Copies of this chain bind each other. A is one copy, B any other.
Amino acid sequence: MKSWRMAFNLSLRVLQAFVELADCRHFTRAAERSHLSQPAFSQLIRRLEEDAGVPLFTRTTRNVTLTVEGELFAERARRLIADMQSSIADLRDHATYRKGRVAMAALPSLSADLIPRAFAAFRRSYPTITLELFDRLSDGCLELVRRGRVDFALTAPGPRLHEFDSAPLRSEPFYFVCGARHPLARRRRIRLRDLWGLEMIHMARSSSVRQHLEPVIAKAGVLDSGIEIEQLATLAGLIASGLGVSLVPELTLFQFRRRELAVIPLEAPELTRPLLLVRRKGVALSRAAEAMLEVIVEMLPGAGRASARRTSAAQASG
């Protein structure tokens, strides 16, 4: 079905060969530099000239020079070669993690410790990739994903999650935190019913932890201290001062590892915070973002499962 005249298929190789000959004006040498036999090289130039419709060189067996048209084309050919090579280099740089950008959003609890450590590890492996981080509450994370401002978000379930591709990364267990002198401070494990009647300090209602905790603790019969704070550090300080106790997810524990505090695993399988990887629907991650995700997953407590790392295209939408 190639009924019509086949179009001129200019290629990088041909351009390079042409410029090589334009430079050294010697078929045999130019052929060597192009890693071709001299006749093959000769044929290549001939075909180029046929396609062009005009001789590009004048040759006697002793002398090879560019024609006027050849000179003009040589200028453009050099530009084209440079542009093509730069495009290829750019593509390869992205393929080999020498170029790229990862933008992500994450809950403040993750952004304070896990993500910084992940960034540090990532940068060691891929020092030239640009990194961006937005620490936002759940809604903010989702909004950034929706707008395409970030490649992905690490966040808790939120409203309108069905608009995204989301996959559970991990289910995070909760820990009970109290002052070191608290009656429960020496316990090895805590159950929900142990909390009955305790005065509890909560995170602000806007936080995903609080939203997740709310229905459960309502049934557990804990007393609400009335204090609502936004920063984990504040929470730690309040507990250290004996003003109450709290439940916090595992990834925030770095804030509570202080002598004045006791941190005890909560045995409540039904009370875990799902940590989601959220992305735009149907949009693949960049290579750099994939690599970042890999680093993060490796760094999560209880790593080793490969399931969350299969990020190709198949997801359970939330």
A-to-B contact residues, CB < 8 Å: 1-2, 7-13, 35, 52-55, 58, 60, 63, 65, 67-69, 72-73, 76-77, 79-80, 83-84, 87-88, 90-92, 94-96, 151, 282-287, 289, 312-313
Give the docked Cα–Cα distance between A249 and B91 (Å): 69
Beyond the given A9-B13, A53-B95, please list 5 additional residue pairs across the A-B interface where CB-CB is below 8 A: A11-B12, A65-B283, A68-B151, A73-B90, A76-B87
**Distance between A279 CB and nearest chain B CB, rounded to angstroms:** 12
Give the docked Cα–Cα distance between A52 and B289 (Å): 18
Residues of B within 8 A of A83 (CB): 76, 79-80, 83
Give the docked Cα–Cα distance between A283 and B58 (Å): 8
CB-contact partner of A80 in B60, B87, B284, under 8 A: B87
B90 touches A84 (CB 8 A): no
Asked if A54 meets B94 with Cβ closer than 8 Å, knowing A67-B284, A84-B80, the reply is: yes
Asked if A53 meets B84 with Cβ closer than 8 Å, knowing A60-B313, A68-B284, A282-B65, the reply is: no
A88 touches B313 (CB 8 A): no
B76 touches A90 (CB 8 A): yes
Chain B residue with the shortest CB-CB distance to A283? B65
Residues of B within 8 A of A10 (CB): 11-12, 84, 87-88
Residues of B within 8 A of A286 (CB): 67-69
Asked if A92 meets B53 with Cβ closer than 8 Å, knowing A13-B9, A287-B69, the reply is: yes
Residues of B within 8 A of A289 (CB): 68
Give the docked Cα–Cα distance between A72 and B99 (Å): 12
24 contacts between A and B (CB under 8 A): A7-B13, A8-B12, A9-B12, A10-B11, A10-B88, A11-B11, A52-B92, A54-B91, A54-B95, A55-B284, A60-B313, A63-B282, A67-B287, A68-B286, A69-B287, A72-B90, A72-B91, A72-B94, A73-B90, A73-B91, A76-B83, A76-B87, A80-B80, A80-B87
**Distance between A69 CB and nearest chain B CB, rounded to angstroms:** 5
Give the docked Cα–Cα distance between A279 and B58 (Å): 15
